[in-house]
Structures are given as structure tokens and as C-alpha cells.
Amino acid sequence: MSSMPKQTDVILIGAGVMSATLGVLLKELAPDMKIKVFEKLASAGEESSNEWNNAGTGHAALCELNYTTENADGTIDISKAVKVNEQFQLSRQFWSHLVKEQVLPNPKEFIMPIPHMSMVEGAENVTFLKKRLEALSANPLFKGMEFSEDPEQLKQWIPLIMEGRTSPEPIAATKIDSGTDVNFGALTRILFDHLKQLDVEINYGHGVEDLKRVDGGWEIKVKNDQDNRIEHHTAKFIFIGGGGGSLPLLQKTGIPESKQIGGFPVSGLFLVCKNPEIAERHHAKVYGKAKVGAPPMSVPHLDTRYIDGQKSLLFGPFAGFSPKFLKTGSNLDLITSVKPNNVLTMLAAGAKEMGLTKYLIEQVLLSTEQRMNELREFIPNAKTEDWDVVVAGQRVQVIKDTPQGKGTLQFGTEVVSAADGSVAALLGASPGASTAVPVMLEVLGKCFPDQMPEWEAKIKEMIPSYGTSLVANPELFDQIHAETTKTLELTEAQPIR
Ligand SMILES: Cc1cc2nc3c(=O)[nH]c(=O)nc-3n(C[C@H](O)[C@H](O)[C@H](O)COP(=O)(O)OP(=O)(O)OC[C@H]3O[C@@H](n4cnc5c(N)ncnc54)[C@H](O)[C@@H]3O)c2cc1C
């Protein structure tokens, strides 16, 4: 059975952190706007945004070595790190605003302070880390970063990692206390609860199957899982926030901007330790260096996580290959995403990325003990019985033609929108949920250009540094950072037992 189209102002497809953020931003800026959400699963934040499906790092480039690359002349390029940090400051400010507004009344439910550390082994890597620290410490955004290659100091910082370490290789680490662990699942759920209170119509168990252009906007075809009924809804603006499921929906729009784009799914596994005695002995997110051939998002890291009020440790991710675009997706996702307009782009990427394919196949074939051995490079005394495998979310990396060549694999997050701003989709997964606020502000800029001049004052009230470079205004950064630290209750120091 089918129904007559039902009209609204905005439709958000998917109930992940991105739709949640866009919905709340829109309701702050235009309280009368009518919004409907369609989510194919039974509740919000069940795919990549779920706390067990991602690493929960508040990406601010405080520890991720892939955001600082070494130039041919040996200098360190920190431009990406500065960009990622500036983006995270926007998310912190919006969350702080929502804490003050009592939308997020208890910040500890979704964000906790945790030192961010980078750790390397081997003389060459130690030299790189020192140079990286020098480059970053000259920048106000990275104030407070410490460096040590002294084993006694490192034992204080990371006892679990230093215990039982027999390698003769030099080891060094940087540490900065202003890092965070973010429970993006909890954040998503709270924001959707808030949207419901604002009369946003949230339809769970509703999978969007098709989109077509109609007069004054778009019509979507939705299947209601409860009774298998087909519904049609129309809106002036549609946001495709389907995570890995965004690409197939974007392709269905047929907009020129959706052509020559493909997606490459990368699956992931984490090892998790919930043994409180072990979890209490590690208090940091420690990022290492990616192995040769490994994609940047599979940099190994050992993270303190706060989930359901419990402290646990997460190690990984181990990458892998699955043709699904979502954890709950179909094995046909990859093959059905290959269209006449992107087949050459996809083939070019396949030919170029043989190293990545080989790496992913090797990762898929790892046994539990081989995974444990990778963990033992971080925790030499790790025991198999203390660690369980959890399946992480799927990432669909964007493949597109760029000045770097046909079929280039992208590792960033990308907004693709129609020229008239009536539809936008979010593709890619990195730096991911941490950048939800700046990325959704980008969607507003692209899709609501006429309203933006009117909305600007309110955006600045919620996000004081909006439109301003913090790196160029260190005093403003200090002020904003201090304020968000206080509002988000990020000051508490946690001793290691
Ligand atoms: C292994 C891993 C580690 C990560 N680590 C981090 C990290 O440490 N820090 C960080 O900031 N980010 C991290 N990320 C990225 C982050 O998780 C994502 O960028 C973010 O959660 C994406 O949010 P989203 O709302 O776009 O997608 P999702 O959370 O995946 O939500 C999309 C929703 O759309 C629904 N949907 C899909 N198709 C349809 C359809 N046709 N109809 C209706 N509903 C549909 C899905 O069911 C889902 O609920 C990580 C990701 C992975 C996979």
C-alpha cells in the first residue's frame, strides 16, 4: 500500500550524530521549522555513532600522528592538525551552549577529560616526534604538550605500556592533558530526545528507498517496517545523513554532483578490556604510528573509554574488508554502488590501491592470537583472557576523481550538495563525529544561503569563534578553551593507580 505525499520543511535521513546535530542547529536557528526524521533501525545512534562502533576520540589532532606529515625537507606540516583542532573547538562550543541550555544537562554523560598521547619506537620515529612537538608547541592551540623519552617518566604516564617492555629500541611519547573521550552514541540519543520534545517527528523503523525531485523540493519513498507500507513524504530540503548508507541514497538523487563518486567500505574490529584492575592502570588515549601500507584510519591506539559509567580499554582498530556499507547493511552494497558514471573511477581506484587491498585482506585473516600480539606491542603483558573482540562500525571511504588522479581514495569527511542547495549528503568518516558541528555548519552555508545572514548573530552567540581563526587569535582561543573546559566539566584530573 502507498500513501499520499506528506509535506514538511526538512527531512533528515538517518538518526546518527550528524542528523542529530543538524536538527538541533536548525531548531535553534528556526524554531518554527517543521522537521521529520526517518531512520531504518529501531532507535537513534545504532550505527557508526554508537559508542562501541567508534573509538570515541574527540579528534583535536593532539595525538593522531597522521595529521602531521613530514615534508621532503624534514620540516613538519601542521596545517591539517590546526584545521582539525579548530574544527573541534567549534563542536566544543556548541556542546557547551547546549549544556548551558540544559539540553545536555550532564556533560559527563557524553564527554570526559583524558590525556591524549602519541607514542613511537625507534630512533627515526623519536626524532620525528621531537620535531612534531617543536612545530606544534609554537602554536597556541597545542599549548601544554609535553615530551619524554625518559623510561622513568614514561612509566608514570603509561605504566601498563612500559611494564614488561624488553625492546632495546628507544621509545618516546608526547602527552597533553586537554584531550577528551566522547560518547557519541549517548550524545546522539540525548539530542534526538531533545528534538522529540521540540515536536520533531522521528520515525524509527523507516528505511528510505528512493528520492525524486518534485516541484519545490524532493519526495522520498519510505518503507515502514512495522506494516511494510510504502509512504511518500516531501520536503523543501533533505539531508542524507545515512552514514555508510548515504552514498546509495545520494546516487538515487541523480544530481550531477553525485556522479563519478564511489565508496570503498572498510570494516573494523576492536579489542576491549573491561577488567577494572587493568582498566584502572591506564589513563590516556595513546596513538601509535600506522604500519606501512595501512590507511591512516587504522593507526593503532590504546584508549581509555568511559561507557555506561564504566571505565574500559579499547585497542585497535583492526581494519578489514566487508562489502557492506553499514554494519546492518547488505553484502550487495558495494557492487550495486558501481554505476556507469563511476565504474571508471572505481576501477582506477582498485588498480591504484592494491597495497591497501593487500593490507585489508591480511587484517581480515588475523587470528585472535595475532591480534593479541599486535596489542602486546602496546601492552607487553596483555593476557588473551582479559580481552574480547568487538565489531566496530563500517567506514565508507569516498573515491573520486581529483587533481591527484582518477579514482583517488579520500580519507576525509565530505559534504556533497545540489547546486540549488535542496539536498545535501555527508560522505566519508574521518575526523568524523568530532567535526559534526563544523560540518553541519558547512551544510547550512551551502543549503541555506539566504537565511545565513539572518542566522549569523545566533550562531555567534552559540559558537563565539564561528567565522574567526582561533590560531590567529590566541587570546580568544584561551578564553573559549577555558570556558568550554569549565562548562563541559573537563578539569578533573584522574590519578593512575
Ligand atoms: C571504527 C571507527 C572508529 C571511529 N572513531 C572515531 C573517533 O574516534 N572519533 C570520531 O570523531 N569519529 C570516529 N569515527 C567516525 C564516526 O563514528 C562517524 O563519522 C559518525 O558516527 C558518522 O555519523 P553519521 O550520523 O553520519 O552516521 P551513522 O552514525 O552511521 O548514522 C547513520 C544512520 O542512518 C541510518 N540509515 C542509513 N541508510 C538509511 C536509509 N536508507 N533509510 C533510513 N535510515 C538510514 C543508519 O541506520 C544509521 O542509524 C569512527 C568510525 C568508525 C567506523
Distance (Å) from CA 471 to ligand 1 centroid: 29
Distance (Å) from CA 277 to ligand 1 centroid: 31
Atom of ligand 1 nearest to the CA of 184: 21
- Pocket test residue of 24, 54, 210 for ligand 1, highest count of atoms within 8 A of CB: 54
Q: What is the pLDDT of residues 79-97, one digit of tens each?
A: 999 999 999 999 999 999 9
- The pLDDT of residue 367 is 87
- pLDDT of 65 strictly over 90: yes
Distance (Å) from CA 241 to ligand 1 centroid: 8
DSSP symbol at 50: S
Helix (H) or strand (E) holding 16: none
| Percent above pLDDT 70 for the chain | 97
90 falls within a domain: no
21 falls within a domain: no
Atom of ligand 1 nearest to the CA of 50: 29
- The pLDDT of residue 167 is 87
- pLDDT of 54 strictly over 90: yes
Q: What is the pLDDT of residues 171-183, one digit of tens each?
A: 999 999 999 999 9
| Cβ–Cβ under 8 Å, residues 258 and 416 | yes
- pLDDT of 397 strictly over 80: yes
Distance (Å) from CA 288 to ligand 1 centroid: 24
Instruction: Give the mean model confidence (pLDDT) for residues 443-469.
Output: 97
- The pLDDT of residue 2 is 53
324 falls within a domain: yes
Atom of ligand 1 nearest to the CA of 209: 41
Q: Give residue 493's pLDDT band: very low, low, confident or very high (50, 70, 90).
A: low
- Pocket test residue of 22, 37, 47, 220 for ligand 1, highest count of atoms within 8 A of CB: 47
Q: What is the pLDDT of residues 246-296, one digit of tens each?
A: 999 999 999 999 999 999 888 889 999 999 999 999 999 999 988 766 776
State the Cα–Cα distance between residues 392 and 24, nearest whole angstrom: 26
Kindly report the protein residue whose alpha carbon is nearest to atom 21 of ligand 1: 49
Kindly report the protein residue whose alpha carbon is nearest to atom 53 of ligand 1: 393
DSSP symbol at 139: S
383 falls within a domain: yes
- pLDDT of 308 strictly over 90: no
Atom of ligand 1 nearest to the CA of 17: 25
State the Cα–Cα distance between residues 385 and 11, nearest whole angstrom: 46
Atom of ligand 1 nearest to the CA of 249: 41
Atom of ligand 1 nearest to the CA of 14: 34
Distance (Å) from CA 171 to ligand 1 centroid: 35
Distance (Å) from CA 244 to ligand 1 centroid: 7
Kindly report the protein residue whose alpha carbon is nearest to atom 15 of ligand 1: 432
Distance (Å) from CA 452 to ligand 1 centroid: 27
446 falls within a domain: no
- pLDDT of 161 strictly over 60: yes
**Domain range for 309:** 261-411
- Pocket test residue of 24, 37, 49, 333 for ligand 1, highest count of atoms within 8 A of CB: 49
Question: What does the chain come to in residues?
Answer: 497
Distance (Å) from CA 116 to ligand 1 centroid: 23
- pLDDT of 494 strictly over 70: no
Q: Give residue 196's pLDDT band: very low, low, confident or very high (50, 70, 90).
A: very high
Instruction: Give the mean model confidence (pLDDT) for residues 149-156.
Output: 96
**Domain tally for the chain?**
1
Helices (H), 415-451: 436-447
**DSSP three-state, residue 84:** helix
Q: Give residue 413's pLDDT band: very low, low, confident or very high (50, 70, 90).
A: confident
Distance (Å) from CA 351 to ligand 1 centroid: 28
Atom of ligand 1 nearest to the CA of 41: 47
Grid cell of 422 as nine digits: 535542496
Distance (Å) from CA 95 to ligand 1 centroid: 19
- The pLDDT of residue 293 is 66
Q: How many CA atoms lie within 13 A of 37 on its CB side?
A: 32
- What are the residues whose beta carbons fall under 8 Å from the beta carbon of 182, sequence distance 6 or more? 56, 57, 58, 110, 111, 433, 434
Q: Would strands 310-320 and 301-307 be described as parallel, antiparallel, or unpaired?
A: antiparallel
Atom of ligand 1 nearest to the CA of 434: 11
- The pLDDT of residue 496 is 47
402 falls within a domain: yes
Q: Which pTM was predicted? A: 0.95
State the Cα–Cα distance between residues 384 and 104, nearest whole angstrom: 38
Task: Tell me how crowded residue 230 is: count the other CB atoms within 10 A of its CB.
Answer: 13
The rounded mean pLDDT for the chain is 93
Rg for the chain (alpha carbons), in Å?
22
* Backbone conformation region of residue 341, classed left if phi is above 0, alpha if psi is from -120 to 50, else beta: alpha
Distance (Å) from CA 491 to ligand 1 centroid: 29
384 falls within a domain: yes
- pLDDT of 231 strictly over 80: yes
423 falls within a domain: no
Atom of ligand 1 nearest to the CA of 208: 42
Atom of ligand 1 nearest to the CA of 432: 19
Which residues' Cβ are closer than 6 Å to ligand 1? Answer: 13-19, 38-41, 46-49, 53-57, 59, 184, 207-208, 241-243, 245, 249, 268, 317, 326, 392-393, 395, 426, 429, 431-434
- pLDDT of 497 strictly over 50: no
